[in-house]
Structure 1
Amino acid sequence: MNPPPINVQPLDTGTTFRSQAYHALKQAISQMDIYDHNDEIRLEERQLSELLGVSRTPIREALTLLEQEGFIRLQPRRGIFVIRKTKAEIVEMIQVWAALESMAGRMVATQATDEDIRTLWDLFRNFEMRNPKEHVNEYSDANIAFHKSIIRLSGSKLIQEMTDNLFIHIRAIRKLTIGQDNRAERSINDHKEIIKALERRDVDQAEHLIRDHTLGLAAHVEKHCDFLE
């Protein structure tokens, strides 16, 4: 199987090329399905320069920043590769996400508006009469949007920043595993209970449900994802 192409758009010439290149490449990498095949994902500097419509200098500067953040590795005479984590690293990242998102849940329960919390139901309207496991790709997008919404509604910029650098791997693993072992059906039930706890302003229960829900993903990866070794 060929590695997925990188999806980037030409840059706006009105702002700093390095900053734009960095954000464009980070966004593109975060949308890659980096664990659904065994091939290394290699990026070509020349191709990125052509796709973004800028010289190689801002591309190199952006790649240096992405390497420092742990998104890619630059190997002399070999090229640029998107980093794939081991199973142990993925499990640890999910555990950290669980801690951050459960704290975000506490903040949502205490300070988000009723209207904001109600918007979480909108993510699952399409599945009221449909089985999520029969529409796995669509449900996967809703699932990821739900977890990002909890982080966003917390209002904590620091939690958002910390989870952003975990998101590339958490998103890819959530998308890969959501169709396994009836996880889609159990996931939507968990989400409904979380929203109900948030609506009741039950801070402790919301935190507990969010943490256990995400730790369930860690347990699933530990048990079933041996291909990550």
Structure 2
Amino acid sequence: MDDDATLTIAASPASTEARATPFALSLQPLNPGASLRDLAYAKLRQAIAEADIYGSREAIRLDERNLTEALGVSRTPIREAMTLLEQEGFLRAVPRRGMFIRRKTRREIVEMIQMWAALESMAARLATLKASDDEIEDLRRLFARFDGGRQTPAQQIDEYSEANITFHEALVKLSKSQAIARTIRNVFAHVRAIRKLTISQSDRASRSITDHMQIIEALEARDTEGAERLARQHSLELATYVNAHCDFLE
């Protein structure tokens, strides 16, 4: 969009800040009317969740001045927002050096995906009981352009990566459970980057589409046990893959 502002963050090795390299988050200036702290928190949280924070092993440091310029606010709401994000595990404060985006370890990511599997499988179960036929049909339409799960050309990987994220968000929404949605929100924000990163590896995209179509078919059939089992199995396979192949998380 024309009013987008690109935020530059200093990315530097954990041992020194002298060799900093640019890291960009896409942010827009905040609109007045609501709590500036809450608006800054929401913008920063979304930008961090969508960023490629595992693309490099270098530490990623946030710069308050850049943040204030990108969001168009003073440093006070920025600092308050970063404190909230630190409490939620998105950031870590390093004395005399500043605030850094916190990458999760492989063990932490695996445990989060396992938690996701438990919550999403229950969401799938509830969706068979509470979602309308039209809502389930929307899920099917989401994947119509990916050839029914039979193949995913390389040029469609980025497009499918976004559709994959949308699918999991939509499945939770179909459960009509606010408690599940609230609980899973932070978990998904942490594992989103890993889902996007691994979807292009080892033909995972094609297998993911097939898994999603099977879940959709179980939802359409109102197969409560089947939908729950398939959703849990789908997420646990990601946990297994991350544990076996994602050495970069160490």
State the TM-score bracket (shorter-chain normalisation). over 0.9
Match of 2:152 in 1: 132
Match of 1:172 in 2: 193
Within 1, Cα distance between the matches of 2:249 and 2:59? 13
Secondary structure of 2:24's counterpart equals: coil
Within 2, Cα distance between the matches of 1:158 and 1:151? 10
Within 1, Cα distance between the matches of 2:104 and 2:158? 23
Structure whose residues are more often strand by fraction: 2
User: Where does 1:14-25 land on structure 2 (aligned, <5 Å)?
Assistant: 14-25=33-44
Q: Larger relative CO (CA 8 A, sep 6+): 1 or 2? A: 1
- Aligned residue pairs total 229
Q: Normalising by the residue count of structure 2, what TM-score does the alignment of the two structures yield?
A: 0.88
Q: Normalising by the residue count of structure 1, what TM-score does the alignment of the two structures yield?
A: 0.96
Structure 1 segments of 4+ aligned residues over 4 angstroms from their partners: none
Within 1, Cα distance between the matches of 2:168 and 2:179? 16
State the AA in 1 paired with 2:183.
M
Match of 2:224 in 1: 203
Match of 2:176 in 1: 155
Q: Is the 8 A contact 1:3 1:37 kept in 2?
A: no
Match of 1:57 in 2: 76
Within 1, Cα distance between the matches of 2:153 and 2:189? 23
Match of 2:129 in 1: 110
TM-superposition CA deviations, 1:3-59 (whole Å, max 9, x none): 631221111122211111111111111111211221212111111111111110111
Match of 1:101 in 2: 120
Q: Is the 8 A contact 1:133 1:179 kept in 2?
A: no
Secondary structure of 1:74's counterpart equals: strand
Match of 1:214 in 2: 235
Q: Is the 8 A contact 1:87 1:225 kept in 2?
A: yes
Q: Which runs of 5+ in 1 are unaligned?
A: none
Q: CA deviation at 1:169?
A: 2.5
Within 1, Cα distance between the matches of 2:125 and 2:216? 12
Within 1, Cα distance between the matches of 2:99 and 2:166? 29
Q: Is the 8 A contact 1:4 1:32 kept in 2?
A: no
Q: Is the 8 A contact 1:4 1:33 kept in 2?
A: no
Within 2, Cα distance between the matches of 1:161 and 1:32? 22
Structure whose residues are more often helix by fraction: 1
Q: CA deviation at 1:168?
A: 2.5
TM-superposition CA deviations, 1:155-200 (whole Å, max 9, x none): 1122112121112321111111111111111111111110000001
Q: Which runs of 5+ in 2 are unaligned?
A: 1-10, 12-20
Whether 2:220 is the aligned partner of 1:189: answer no
Within 1, Cα distance between the matches of 2:23 and 2:123? 33
Q: CA-atom RMSD, angstroms? A: 1.5
TM-superposition CA deviations, 1:121-141 (whole Å, max 9, x none): 121122128831422111111
